[in-house]
Amino acid sequence: MSNTVRSTRSLLVVLLAALLGSAFLMVVVHPAPSFAQEQPLQRKVKSRVPPEYPEIARKMSLTGVVRLQVVISANGSVKDTKVIGGHPILAAAAADAVKKWKFDSASAESTETVEFKFDPGN
């Protein structure tokens, strides 16, 4: 085998190892966003789905707080959400998650404010 072929092969092995190593670090270094609710909710949450930290937000190093107004039907399902604060990319992830939440049943529809804190370094 010629020196050029060996050099090229060695270079490819090193580049592949570096690429795989950096992909592993991206997964390890960026955990899921944290969830924070400063004010207690009036209705108890029976089933809570955490938001996924969007890949584009991760690449942009976006952090911040998203506030949602959530309309809950009498049966405990989320009827509607409205963003009242936060970056649009993070807000979309928060709204997608909260739409999957289930609350305790009540005699009537109610409205709650839910707050999510997105911080991949947490």
Which pLDDT does position 42 carry in this prediction? Answer: 84
> In what side-by-side order are the strands of the sheet with 78-85?
78-85, 64-72, 110-118
Per-residue pLDDT of 24-65, as tens digits, reads 323 333 334 445 554 577 889 999 999 998 999 989 999 999
Q: Percent of the chain having pLDDT more than 90?
A: 57
pLDDT at 69 over 70: yes
Q: What is the pLDDT of residue 6?
A: 57
> How much is the pTM?
0.67
Enumerate residues 6+ apart whose C-beta is below 8 A from 75.
105
pLDDT band at 7 (very low <50, low <70, confident <90, very high): low
Going by the DSSP 8-state scheme, the letter that residue 52 receives in this structure is: P
Mean pLDDT estimate for the chain: 77
State the pLDDT at residue 33.
47
Banded pLDDT at 119 (limits 50, 70, 90): confident
**CA distances to 76, 77, 102, 113 from 109, in Å:** 8, 10, 13, 14
